[in-house]
Amino acid sequence: MIYHIEVSLETKEEFSQFLSSKIKEYNNLHSRFHRESREKGAVVPINIMASDDLGNCIGGISAEVYWGWVEINDFWFQEEFRSKGLGSKLLTQVEEVSKEKGATKALLTTFDFQARFFYEKRGYKIAGEIKDYPPGSSYYTMVKQL
């Protein structure tokens, strides 16, 4: 067998899409859960948006429910609205909606300079830690039984 190896330090979108599609094919073949999650409607998006009195977006949460889990992807709001209970309210709301959609567990990732302690106060447990990522910090995977 003859093969060639090329190293590129540039973004190769077509190559990335090729690899992604091959990984999806492999996962579909070996995991019914992956295969089923690609069916229309299998992944339920949840977007909870917060706005000020003028209707301007001040933040929110985006998440997805699948495999009996809710995966919280993005959670942010403006600084002046923090430490006033809004974060707890939004997190509780996404958890409640997720349970209605069949989730029994929650998953998220955060850095130690972001919201680790906020999540721990609300019942999330560290399932994994990558130390020194980025240098001087830690990256956490956190889970919670809903």
In which band, very low, low, confident or very high, does the pLDDT at 139 lie, cut at 50, 70 and 90? Answer: very high
Query: For position 124, what pLDDT does the model report?
Result: 98
Give φ, ψ of 59 to 5 degrees.
145, -165
Amino acid identity, position 110: T
Distance CA 98, CA 64 (A): 8
pTM of the predicted structure, to 2 decimals: 0.88
Give me the residue spans of the domains in the chain: 12-42, 43-145
Q: What one-character-per-residue DSSP string does the chain give?
A: ---------S--HHHHHHHHHHHHHHHHHH-HHHHHHTSTTSSEEEEEEEE-TTS-EEEEEEEEEETTEEEEEEEEE-GGGTTSSHHHHHHHHHHHHHHHTT--EEEEEEETTTTHHHHHHTT-EEEEEEETSSTT-EEEEEEEE-
CATH fold of 43-145 = Aminopeptidase (3.40.630)
121 pLDDT band, cuts 50/70/90, is very high
C-alpha 91/C-alpha 59 separation (Å) is 12
pLDDT band at 56 (very low <50, low <70, confident <90, very high): very high
Measured distance CA(25)–CA(67) in Å, rounded: 18
- pLDDT for 9 equals 94
Residues 6+ positions from 86 with CB-CB distance below 8 Å: 50, 59, 77
- Whole-angstrom CA distances from 13 to 8, 19, 27, 28 are 12, 10, 21, 22
